[in-house]
Structures are given as structure tokens and as C-alpha cells.
Amino acid sequence: MEMRAQIPKSLREEGIGILKPQFFVLENNLEAVARHMLIFSLALEDPEKMGLQERSETFLEVWGNALLRPPVAAFVRAQADLLAHLVPEPDRLEEQLPWLSLRALKFRERDALEAVFRFWAGGEKGPEAFPMSRLWDSRLRHYLGSRYDARRGVSDWDLRMKLHDRGAQVIHTQEFRRWRDTGVAFELRDSSAYHVPNRTLASGRLLSYRGERVAARGYWGDIATGPFVAFGIEADDESLLRTSNGQPVKTAGEITQHNVTELLREVAAWGRARASRGDAEEQQSSEASPEPGTPAAPTPESFIVHFLPLNSAETLHHKSCYNGRFQLLYVACGMVHLLSPELGACVAPGGNLIVELARYLVDVRQEQLQGFNTQVGERARAAGFAPQTEARPSETFARFCKSQESDLGSTDPAVEPGTPSLDVLAQPLEASSPAPEGLTQPLQGGTPHCEPCQLPSESPGSLSEVLAQPQGALAVSNCESDSKTGV
């Protein structure tokens, strides 16, 4: 939810003053990794090539819409084609995208990542390669069942009795209905302009069909909560949240667009400031050089995002380069089942843990939310963390601090009766059920099923480079909530 949008702010709040921050992202499928790469490359696009408004609108459509406008779809194809050529060539990748590191991924994961980008780039032509509208409707029918014909009433109930009661009053009925019906959350142009399937939302799964395991490509993301809660229910500008006759003046979509635009503006300004400081340091170094013609030291990059092997949470602590390294661990609500003593061992003493709670999951009842919060606290304590007493109370995030000593042999607490299983939150129903008619497409040459992966074997060069990097932050993300949680 809001958490991912606030990770940089959280780093400042937690006092992590790193000269060159390192972010390590652990996902459970490669399509989510590809989406991260695409959205990062969009957010860091040269302002001279793409203006601020165009970048913010493109961001919103790619991130939160099931259907795209043709110009945005063309951008996705071009960027995916570029990334497909860069992924197999590490040297070119580091040269053109110095903020990105895929060194920790296995070779088969890189090959599968390349296949994802090639699918996005249009290797399979035509909308039938990924009929998003039909897949959305089929999933909605499966989700609602006998309530499908009353879906408008169900939508209004979920919005008013759940999201509004939990603090998201600015979400308007019309925009929430539109998203529930079509998957289009941010309608920045005429509705007829949105007709190209957003292939970045596609993912592959192994499903049980007539007693056999079948690889299929479909849409398995959010169809219940919506992406509005990520950037659209809070704002620093209080005027955006004012009401008239008890109704919000601005919609969640308008607030989202404002917040994303300001976020991208800050990123661009931060980059320019660092570049200017780097040029000044380079000039001073050149002037102080005793020998004419001696080149100045290159300015270090602002940050690096490392992607870790899929499902490697239980094995990271076996590597000395990860054990006790991270200053901040962020865990999405759908990945809380991975919070364990093994993962906690990767956090340095005194480090911080931020866990996203399930506040805005409309399918989770209020009493279940309390049980989930209790489980989060118990798992955090078992992993060696203690609650932050000085942190302000929050119903959206739970904050903890790493104890000076932690017991790696601690066992996970038992699940209380009536509390939703963490594994259920981590995996949608369709992953373990027979595929309903028309819900999926055959997967040809796509990505492999997500399996537990071991860390790549150590090589003298790569390991020494990792050990030389400063401490950073680890984010355990969740692709299933990607469309509603942001970057």
C-alpha cells in the first residue's frame, strides 16, 4: 500500500545516512522483477527525453491500468525491447543502467527475464496474445461467483463499508466501479483511448487442469482493493483532502497524479543536485591535481538496486555478504510468511524492520486484521526484533528494531483460531485451484514456475564486489499486491 511509495522517506526517518544506498529486492516471480525494472527506468528517464507530466501519466497507466493508450503501449514495447537486449549483456547493462544489478540472479532466471521482456515487446503479435479484458472479466466472475450480476452493489459495499471505514474516504464511487469493471484505475484521457492490453500485468503459473499441471499465462493481480490506496489517500498538501458538504473535493485518482508528479519531480531534482555536486567535486579534484591531464575520479552513482534470486529468503543468511548486513528490512503484507529467524539474521543489530499490514485488503474482516497484526508481532519477535516504542502508532505499518542478540533456532508461533493464514495472503486462490474456463492462456516459451532457488555460486570477482559494497536495505515484495502497492 503506501509503504513502497514511502521507502525513501522511511530511510530518512530511520536515520540511515548512507553515502551510496544499496537496495536489495526479493520477489517471488520474474514478472514482478521485470515490472520493477521498467518502472524504475521510467522514473529515472532523462527529463530532456520525457517531460514530467508525460512521465507521471505513463507511470500511472503502466502501474495501475489493465488497458493502455497506444502511445503508452508503444513506450512499453520500446523499453521492453531495450531491456531484453541488455539483460543478457551485463557489461552493456551496467553501462546504460548503472543503478541496476542482476548479478545475483541465476543464468536461467536471466534467460526467463529476457523472455518476459520479449513478450512485452510484442514477440507474440495482436491483443489475443494477452486478451486482458476477457481475462479480467473471467477472473472477476470467478471471484464474485453468484454475486457477479450484482457486482455494482458489491463494489459499493466493499468501498463504503470497508475501504471508507478504514480511512480511504477520498476514493470516489465512480472511479472504484470503473476499476472493478474494466481494470482501468486512472482515466487521464477519453475512455475510448484505453484499449491496448497492459502486458506488464501478465504472469505465468502452473495450474491443475483435469489432473495435470499445465503452464498458463494469465492475470493474477488485484481485483478487490485497487491501486488508489498507494498514492491516492494521503497528501502533504492538505487542500487536496478538503471536503465540501461531506464529500471529498478531489478524487483519489487526482490525488495520486499529484503525488506521483511531485515524487518524480523530487527524483529529478535530487539527480540534478547530485550531478552538480559531482561536477564541482570533479572540477576541484582536477584543479588540485599536480600533473596536468590527470583525469578526476568519477562521481559515484547515487544508488544501486540489486535483485536477489527468487524465493531465497531462507538461504540468504548462509552467505557472509548478507548475514547481518541490512540496516532496514521492509516486508509486504503478502510476504509476511517469509519473516523468520533466518531472514532476521540478515539484519544488522540495531537495524529496523517495517511490515506492511493488511489494513486495506477488503477480503479480510476486522477481527482477522487484529489476528494478522498479532501474528506479525509474534513473527517479528521470533526473528529477533522488538517493537519500536518511540514510533507513532499506525494501522498501516508495524515498526520494529533488531535486538542486539537473536536466537536463530526460534520457532514460528502457532496460528490463532479465526486468523487468516499468512500463506493464504501470499498466494491467490487460483494458484491451487483448477483453472476456470477462459481464465488463462497457454504459456509458450515463457517464464518457469516460481521454485525455491539457491543463491548463485560464489566467484572471486562477484563476491569481493558484493562484500565491498556498503550496507543497505532489503525489500521483500509481493507481486500479487503489486498493482495496489506501487513501486
- Looking at 253, 273, 293, the residue that finishes a domain is 273
Torsion over CA: 115, 120, 126, 132 (sign): positive
What's the pLDDT score for residue 15?
43
Same domain, 51 and 118: yes
Whole-number CA gyration radius for the chain: 23
Q: Is 454 within the bounds of a domain?
A: no
What's the pLDDT score for residue 443?
54
The helix (H) or strand (E) run that includes residue 15 is: none
What's the CATH code of the domain at 402? 3.40.50.150
What's the pLDDT score for residue 451?
35
Confidence of residue 277 (pLDDT cuts 50, 70, 90): low
Task: Name, in order, each residue with C-beta under 8 angstroms of 280's C-beta and a sequence gap of 6 or more.
Answer: none
CA distance 346 to 368: 30
Q: Is 338 within the bounds of a domain?
A: yes
- At 390-431, the pLDDT tens digits run 878 889 999 999 977 654 444 444 444 445 555 445 444 344
Q: Is 22 within the bounds of a domain?
A: yes
Q: What is the mean pLDDT of the chain?
A: 80
Mean pLDDT of 355-384: 94
Q: Is 9 within the bounds of a domain?
A: no
With a pLDDT cut of 70, the percent of the chain lying above it is 73
Q: Which of 332, 331, 330, 328 is nearest to 351 (CA)?
A: 328
CB count within 10 Å of CB 364 equals 21
Q: Which of 268, 235, 240, 239 is nearest to 43 (CA)?
A: 268
Confidence of residue 124 (pLDDT cuts 50, 70, 90): low
* CB-based contact 335:28 (threshold 8 Å): yes
- Looking at 354, 376, 406, the residue that finishes a domain is 406
Q: Is 11 within the bounds of a domain?
A: no
What's the pLDDT score for residue 71?
95
* pLDDT greater than 60 at residue 364: yes
Same domain, 244 and 332: no
- Looking at 376, 406, 436, the residue that finishes a domain is 406
Same domain, 341 and 229: no
Domain that holds residue 183: 18-273
Residue with the bigger pLDDT between 458 and 308: it is 308
Phi and psi for 441 in degrees, rounded to 5?
-120, 150
Q: Is 478 within the bounds of a domain?
A: no
Cα end-to-end span (Å), the chain:
10
* CB-based contact 475:24 (threshold 8 Å): yes
Confidence of residue 122 (pLDDT cuts 50, 70, 90): confident
- At 49-65, the pLDDT tens digits run 899 999 999 999 999 99
Phi and psi for 46 in degrees, rounded to 5?
-60, 125
Q: Is 184 within the bounds of a domain?
A: yes
Same domain, 336 and 232: no
Q: Which of 2, 22, 1 is nearest to 11 (CA)?
A: 22
Same domain, 249 and 184: yes
Show the cell assigned to 396.
Answer: 498501516
Confidence of residue 478 (pLDDT cuts 50, 70, 90): low
Same domain, 132 and 211: yes
Same domain, 267 and 324: no
Same domain, 242 and 376: no
Same domain, 246 and 342: no
The helix (H) or strand (E) run that includes residue 78 is: helix 70-86
* CB-based contact 151:140 (threshold 8 Å): yes
- At 1-19, the pLDDT tens digits run 333 334 445 444 444 444 6
What's the pLDDT score for residue 441?
55
What's the pLDDT score for residue 232?
95
- At 219-259, the pLDDT tens digits run 999 999 999 999 999 999 999 999 998 889 999 999 999 99
Same domain, 230 and 347: no
- At 152-167, the pLDDT tens digits run 999 999 999 999 999 9
Same domain, 368 and 229: no
* pLDDT greater than 70 at residue 291: no
Confidence of residue 276 (pLDDT cuts 50, 70, 90): low
* pLDDT greater than 70 at residue 385: yes
Q: Is 197 within the bounds of a domain?
A: yes
| pTM for the whole structure | 0.79
What's the pLDDT score for residue 461?
33
Bridge partners (DSSP) of residue 208 are 213, 434
| Total domains in the fold of the chain | 2
Same domain, 107 and 195: yes
